[in-house]
Amino acid sequence: MQRRLYPGRDFRRAQNIEELRQMARRRLPNFSFEYVEGGADDEFTLGRNRTIFESVTLQPRTLRDVGQRSLERSFFGRSAQLPFMIGPTGFNGLLTRDGDLHLARAAADAGIPFVLSNASTTSIEDIAAVDGIRAWMQIYLYRTRDHVAKLVERVKRLNLEAIVVTTDSAIFGNREWDKRNYAKPLQLDLRNRLDVLCHPEWIWDVLVPDGVPRFRNLGDLLPPGKDSVKGAASALAAELDPTLSWDDIAWLRDIWHGKLIVKGMIHPDDARLALQYGVDGVVLSNHGGRQLDGAVSALETLPEVARINQGRMEIFLDGGFRRGSDIAKALLLGANGVLIGRAGLYGLAAGKGPGAAHAIGILRSELDRTLGLLGCSSLEELTPDLIHAAPWRALAERIRS
């Protein structure tokens, strides 16, 4: 009998993130799935974000008591139940109604942080009201800095823990496969309009009765009546600021005294600068392969950044995480934690809030199993000797020396 993934629609039967991905593909219209899935140009970096994990091989210990295991990890001195969190992803209202709210509730139930995207279709106030939530806010440093300052004030009023400023999108990446769905900017071509009609469940969930979802944290930045996901695109593109520099991080540091995390760096020298500018954490990221094609993966630059850092900042990374073993490899190489993007969205698209919770549960179970099979009882026992591949092991050992 030929092997195949589960072909049905019951997200609870998904054994792994890839099965949730296939369910999401079947449930979503092509244009919506392509927005989640696609990368820049030839998608070399998008693919490398996954294949890089294959080069990090593990060397487990045996005859160790792993009957009791803990996946708990501390971020900024506060405990989290898992060493990963839900990272910022925009336009989630195009996957399911109140998509950000579903993700936030799943994160709160799992005891992990949730990072709300600046381009979300749920307000930061609604996210902050979720019971048990540990919410962080992502921002872009748009040209209209008054808008940014007002958003920071909203975050202050809600007493949120951290701001995550994304810095790798000052120029918009070339996402060709996404563009091919449109006859002209944000007007679907005939093929995709017909495809939408073939997804009545999605139409009733997302478009009825209020139409295309609207941005809830960009109101004063957008022209009147242009706050929908469709209408705001040109206004947001005009707000991207290619003059963005470390001076702008200094400005943000002056007006925000909570935890400040810079997301989107990939070069070790930028980690040195982050330390100089009083940043509390960094997210190593190539924007999920959606910006510069040909960029290295975050995992590749992680060991050198960890060596430079020497524990002074929190180091997070994203890009290509689909298995619990992927997360373990990042922790072995010096990460404090991991941001999950597409993996959570596949669960959300496949099964709304419960589907997102199932995605988190899959990663939790895989990570717990990996930890035990490595011969470890806690994340603190993940040491470089558990890496077999010589170059990676040497890099990891430099961190500890």
Distance CA 88, CA 392 (A): 29
In the chain the domains, ranked by start, together with CATH numbers, are 11-58+68-175+237-375 (3.20.20.70)
pLDDT tens readout for residues 113-153: 999 999 999 999 999 999 999 999 999 999 999 999 999 99
Side chain identity at 364, as an amino acid letter? R
Residue 164 in contact with residue 88, Cβ under 8 Å? yes
Distance CA 208, CA 197 (A): 13
pLDDT tens readout for residues 282-329: 999 999 999 999 999 999 999 999 999 999 999 999 999 999 999 999
Q: What is the pLDDT of residue 230?
A: 65
Distance CA 2, CA 20 (A): 20
User: Which candidate, 86, 247, 264, places its Cα nearest to that of 171?
Assistant: 264
Q: Which residues are annotated as a binding site for glyoxylate?
A: 35, 140, 175, 263, 287, 290
User: Which candidate, 400, 387, 381, places its Cα nearest to that of 72?
Assistant: 381
287 is catalytic: yes
Q: How far is CA 197 from the centre of its chain?
A: 30
Q: What is the pLDDT of residue 185?
A: 74
Left, alpha or beta for 52 (phi > 0: left; psi -120 to 50: alpha)?
A: alpha
pTM, rounded to two decimals = 0.95
Pairing of strands 114-116, 281-284: unpaired
Per-run averaged pLDDT (10 residues), the chain, 401 residues = 88 97 97 96 96 95 97 98 97 96 98 96 96 97 92 97 95 91 88 97 95 85 71 73 95 97 97 97 97 96 95 97 98 97 98 98 98 98 88 68 62
What are the DSSP E strand ranges found in 9-140?
73-75, 78-80, 84-86, 114-116, 135-140
Name, in order, each residue with C-beta under 8 angstroms of 221's C-beta and a sequence gap of 6 or more: 142, 144, 147, 235, 236, 239
What are the DSSP E strand ranges found in 141-230?
162-166, 182-184, 187-188
**Catalytic residue selected from 102, 147, 257, 287:** 287
